[in-house]
Every structure is written in structure tokens, then in C-alpha cells.
């Protein structure tokens, strides 16, 4: 009975002794708790690794910093989502909040850029309605008039040829220019190209509108829960989409400029042919 009582007494908890049986004084326990809450201490659980996307070319050049734990850094490197990501140490709630704020600022910048793209696209569509479409209609009218005049001229030329009149060099040159003009007037690729550009402009505008609506719906939620909902993959996807839109708009501007030059050249050809 006395032996069991002694064993029970030895198994009871005593102040200053941990579960492992190691006796710790009160100052030691205070220091342990302090280290747990101090984010600058490596023993703190409030230290975690997040990821930055630096690209596959630059990722191999990143190494653990002086405040990194080499083992934890290597473990985070093995668990990275893609070969272009590198681990970044985040210490405590303050640094996590700063990172979330940077992501919110980046999202705001992307929304501003999206508005600029949408306004630019609206301006392009307005210019098309006010200028390019008017020029296209005018060119079609001129082409119709010129085709009729060319047909009448060809009929007169054939009559003169049947009567035995030979064409001189100037008339032969005029004939070549008229044939070239006729091919350019009835070339179906020009109209098809204009229709393709118009369809692509409408498609880009619709994609821009849908993306803007999605970002506006996600905006309040992202602002309220930015600490745990924003991730690098979302930012990477949004940036890629916006970069693609920017590239498409630049290509679209080049195509519109090329079409405008084609129309100007087509307008110059009939005048030169008639005067000649």
C-alpha cells in the first residue's frame, strides 16, 4: 500500500516539471513562451514559407538567407507548386499582413489596367464606327463606279481592236493597271480580313467585360479576406490574361493600321489610272 502511494505521488504533476520529466523553472518557462510568440525566434511556430514566382530562369540562383532554416527552406523548395517559384520566409502576423496588402495593391493595379484596356477598346470601336466603316462604305461606292467605268472602257477597247486599231504603249499600260485594279476590287480576302478584325474586337471586348465583372464581384470578398484567400497562382493567372489582352490590342491596332493603308492605296490607284 505504501509503495503504491509513493508511485502515485511521484506520478502527480508538480510545478515546473514538463511532461517529459525535465524540470524547468518559472523563468525558463516564461522564456519558452516568449520564444514561441516572438516571430524573430526560429522556435516560433508563427514562421512559414510562402512562394514568389521569379521565373524558371532565375529560380536556381536563389539560396537560403541568414534568417532561414536550411532544412525547412529545402523542404519548402521541394513542395513548391512550380519550378519557377522560390520559398519566402514570412514571420508573424505583421509580415503576413504586409504581403496581403501588396497583393491587394497589385489587384487594384490590375483592375486599373483592365479599365484602361476596356476604354482603349471602346475608343477603337468608336473610331471604327465613325471613321473606318464610313471609309469602307465610300471605298465600296467608288469601287462600284470604277468597275462600271472599267467595263465601259473595256468594251470600247474591244470595239477598237475589232476594227483593227492597235493599242499603243500607254494604252497597254492602262490595260494592265485596270486589270490589277479589278483584281484588287474583287479580292474577297480584303472584306474577309475586315470582318475578322471586327469579330476579334468584339470578342476581346466581351472577354474584357466578363473579366471586369468577375473582378468586381471578387473585389469585396478579396478585400475582407485578403489574409487567407489571395495566392500567387491567382495573381499569375490574372497577370497572364491581362498581358494577353494587351498583346491582342496591340496586334489589333497594327491590323487596323494595315487595313487603313490598304484602303488608301486602293483609293490612289483609280485616280492614277483614270488620269493616265
Are 204 and 248 a contacting pair, CB within 8 Å? yes
Query: CA 64 to CA 71: how far, in whole Å?
Result: 10
Residue 139 is predicted with a pLDDT of 85
* pLDDT by 10-residue block (mean), the chain, 276 residues: 46 50 78 80 83 88 86 89 90 87 91 89 82 82 86 78 70 76 69 72 74 68 51 68 70 70 63 41
What does the domain layout of the chain look like in residue ranges? Answer: 2-94, 98-275
Q: What local confidence, expressed as pLDDT, does residue 85 receive?
A: 92
Burial 212-244 (b: 16+ CB within 10 A, else e): eeeeeeeeeebeeebeeebebeebeebeeebee
pLDDT at 87: 92
pLDDT value, residue 20: 55
Q: What is the pLDDT of residues 132-188, one digit of tens each?
A: 778 888 888 888 888 888 888 778 777 777 776 666 777 778 778 777 777 776 667
- Interior angle at CA 231, CA 226 and CA 232, nearest 5: 135
Is 0.75 topped by the overall pTM? no
Give the burial class of 210: count Cβ atoms within 10 A of its Cβ; 0-12 exposed, 13-18 middle, 19 or more buried. exposed
Amino acid at each position: 500500500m505504501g509503495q503504491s502511494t509513493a508511485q502515485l505521488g511521484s506520478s502527480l504533476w508538480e510545478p515546473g516539471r514538463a511532461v517529459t520529466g525535465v524540470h524547468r523553472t518559472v523563468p525558463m518557462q516564461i522564456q519558452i513562451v516568449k520564444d514561441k510568440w516572438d516571430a524573430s525566434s526560429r522556435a516560433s511556430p508563427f514562421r512559414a514559407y510562402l512562394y514568389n514566382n521569379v521565373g524558371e530562369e532565375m529560380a536556381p540562383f536563389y539560396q537560403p538567407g541568414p534568417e532561414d532554416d536550411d532544412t525547412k527552406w529545402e523542404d519548402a523548395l521541394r513542395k513548391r507548386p512550380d519550378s519557377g517559384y522560390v520559398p519566402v520566409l514570412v514571420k508573424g502576423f505583421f509580415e503576413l499582413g504586409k504581403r496581403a496588402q501588396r497583393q491587394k495593391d497589385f489587384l487594384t493595379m490590375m483592375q486599373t489596367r483592365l479599365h484602361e484596356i476596356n476604354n482603349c477598346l471602346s475608343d477603337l470601336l468608336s473610331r471604327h464606327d465613325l471613321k473606318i466603316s464610313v471609309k469602307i462604305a465610300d471605298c465600296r461606292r467608288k469601287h462600284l463606279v470604277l468597275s462600271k467605268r472599267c467595263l465601259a472602257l473595256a468594251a470600247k477597247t474591244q470595239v477598237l481592236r475589232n476594227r483593227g486599231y492597235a493599242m499603243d504603249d500607254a494604252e497597254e499600260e492602262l490595260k494592265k493597271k485596270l486589270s490589277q485594279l479589278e483584281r484588287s476590287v474583287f479580292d474577297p480576302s480584303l472584306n474577309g480580313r475586315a470582318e475578322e478584325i471586327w469579330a476579334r474586337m468584339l470578342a476581346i471586348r466581351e472577354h474584357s467585360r466578363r473579366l471586369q465583372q468577375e473582378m468586381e464581384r471578387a473585389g469585396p470578398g478579396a478585400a475582407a479576406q485578403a489574409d487567407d484567400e489571395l495566392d500567387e497562382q491567382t495573381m499569375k493567372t490574372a497577370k497572364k490574361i491581362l498581358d494577353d489582352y494587351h498583346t491582342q490590342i496591340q496586334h489589333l491596332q497594327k491590323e487596323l493600321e494595315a487595313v487603313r493603308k490598304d484602303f488608301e492605296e486602293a483609293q490612289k490607284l483609280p485616280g492614277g489610272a483614270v488620269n493616265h
